[in-house]
Structure 1
Amino acid sequence: MDRKLPESRFDLSTYWGRVRHAADVSDPRMLLVTSQDVSTAKQIVAQYRKGEREASPELWRAKKVLDSTIHPDTGEPVLLPFRMSSYVLSNLVVTVGMLTPGLGTAGTLFWQVANQSLNVAVNTANANKSHPLSTTQLATSYALAVSASCSVALGLNAVVPRLKRVSAGTRLVLGRLVPFAAVVSAGVVNVFLMRGEEIRKGIAVFDPASGAEVGTSQTAAWHAVGETAVSRVINATPIMVLPPLLLVRLQRRFRLGPAAETAANLGLILATSFAALPFALGIFPQRREIAVGKLEPRLRGLRGADGAPLATVVFNRGM
């Protein structure tokens, strides 16, 4: 007997279910799991698949350990700083750096490069391994993402102070949002570059009933990559927008000194990151369904494992 392991203990067809699942996968406590914990989790899951164990809190805990630690394609642990469970903590330093008020040109360049370096590392560690990027493609993606973020950040930093028809307060707020514009533009560029092979070659689509692969589709790839790019914007928005705007209000009300300003900035970013991340990650389902009629003409006669024509197929959107 080989039972299929449920994707989640939560209902992933609902937004709230996806939020709860994302909170599970990004739980920073999973950084404390040991190699023995992973081995035990694998044994528990294997027993369930063989019919030797039923669904239980222990099974869901084991699945949580594996989902937050193991790469689904390779079966090997993802390098610890680049796991989703480390996402908030790994990004905390560079986010605080980018959102530090009064950065000069050198500081802006340094933190934008640091942020894109971390993004490329996370993307590479968690990427779908069916279309691995060559070293040249990876270097090109990194260089273009860094160029995009630095160009936007430096360009807007030069433009905002010259805005004469807006108040000083508005210029202050716009200046604090420059890192957001830089991160979003570079993030979108990065997604399309890092996943360009998927768009060119297509991604696997599956029979919803049996889970069997029934073809590869470039249309599905466009949906997957496009939604991922949008999700990057959504993920960045609360973390890069709320803390700087709240910090402006705090400064106006309490006239914070440098140390207090740094502590407030750190606290706001940390609290917003932990609170907002699951809600942002849950916007789009990881497993997407698309009508066969919307795929390429060559795929419109797809049939399932039972030989019946398929009305829909599913695909993995990726992260």
Structure 2
Amino acid sequence: MSNKVLDLDQPRYDQTEFKGRLLHFMDITNPLNLLVTPSKLQQYQELVKNYQDKPYPVLSKEEEEILWKAKRIVDSTCHPETKEPIFLPFRMSAFVPLNLIICAGLLIPKPTFANIVFWQWFNQSTMVAINWANANKSTPMSVSETATAYCTAVGASVGTALGLDHLVKKSKLSPAVNKILSKSVPFLAVSTASVLNVFLMRRKEIKEGISVTDEFGNIVGKSKAAGLNAVSQVATTRVALGIPVLLLPPLIMSRMEKTRFLKANPKWNVPIQLGIITTSLLTALPCSIAIFPQKVQSKVQDLEPHLQNLKNKDGSDLKYVYYNKGL
């Protein structure tokens, strides 16, 4: 039995520590969250809202777990600012199953020109949608701005992949080195394009700034510095995500292909590789996005001059502001 009141406005785990953020994002990115029906989601939303409006001491461990489960599903499914459900394929809980398909395509041995173009296009199209769906919504982009960013990101991805593939094929290095480099092309292409994708899809946040709030969630202004920091941190997580997902599986498989088992049973090559990719995705996603907190605390003195002299309701100087970094 417990008499504590839960703070459902905040994540369950301490977001100032990496471990707490990791546990939080393991909950958020869990693919099983996709199985929740719209009607069940609505029940969870109402349960969380009713408790937030009128919190009461939790009487049992079971009640506490029910409330945290509702909170987990709502956080995984709905945007933290709009509170509206994110379109299912673009939720972070759909990231692993969706990217398993993409990774399998990107790692096709000896890809043709058509293979490279299609999978880089498909990957960046997916990333554009995910970046848009999970971005800070205080500075939305127009349809034309989104279309321009999409075309540029896809063009950069395909161009980088084709260029790197051409360089590897034309290089005069040893076959062993060439094989390793060719397996690294998807990672280099995706990482380069992913960073560009994030900055293009969210460049308006840098240009116009994003909303920053006080500790109670009241908007106190807009900050370009906060926008740049938010977008830069998301771009960093994209690169970190690509390392174990696109770089490690090919290197592991290049070793495993030499084993007696795979030489005798080549049909197991693809299933084993997909198993390694799945494990990499399930591990890398929460680890990479847990590098930085989603709700960022920033010192006012680190932001623009127009935010320097803000006051709290009691007249004291406002020392910290907060903003949604996005995912």
TM-score of the superposed pair, with normalisation by structure 1: 0.93
Aligned to 1:242: 248
SS in 2 for 1:313: strand
Q: Assess if the C-alpha contact under 8 Å between 1:214 and 1:304 holds in 2.
A: no
One-letter identity of the residue aligned with 1:94? I
Aligned to 1:172: 179
Q: Assess if the C-alpha contact under 8 Å between 2:33 and 2:93 holds in 1.
A: yes
Correspondence list, 1:1-319, <5 A: 5-55=8-58, 56-164=64-172, 166-208=173-215, 210-253=216-259, 254-255=262-263, 259-319=267-327
Tell me, which stretches of 5 or more residues in structure 1 are unaligned? Answer: none
| RMSD of aligned Cα (Å) | 1.9
Q: Assess if the C-alpha contact under 8 Å between 2:136 and 2:324 holds in 1.
A: no
Change (3 A) 1:155 1:264: same
TM-score of the superposed pair, with normalisation by structure 2: 0.91
Q: Assess if the C-alpha contact under 8 Å between 1:30 and 1:85 holds in 2.
A: yes
Q: Assess if the C-alpha contact under 8 Å between 1:212 and 1:305 holds in 2.
A: no
Distance in 2, matches of 1:251 and 1:88, equals 25
Q: CA deviation at 1:255?
A: 3.1
Count of residue pairs brought into register by the alignment: 316
Cα deviations by residue, 1:41-96 (Å, 9 ceiling, x for unpaired)? 12221231233544511110000111111223333322211111111001111111
Distance in 1, matches of 2:196 and 2:265, equals 37
Q: Assess if the C-alpha contact under 8 Å between 2:136 and 2:325 holds in 1.
A: no
After TM superposition, what 4+ stretches of structure 1 lie above 6 angstroms from structure 2? none
SS in 1 for 2:140: coil
Distance in 2, matches of 1:266 and 1:4, equals 40
Change (3 A) 1:191 1:256: farther
Identical aligned pairs, as a percentage? 41
Q: CA deviation at 1:310?
A: 2.0
Q: Assess if the C-alpha contact under 8 Å between 1:69 and 1:77 holds in 2.
A: yes
Change (3 A) 1:275 1:154: same
Q: CA deviation at 1:201?
A: 1.0
Tell me, which stretches of 5 or more residues in structure 2 are unaligned? Answer: 1-5, 59-63
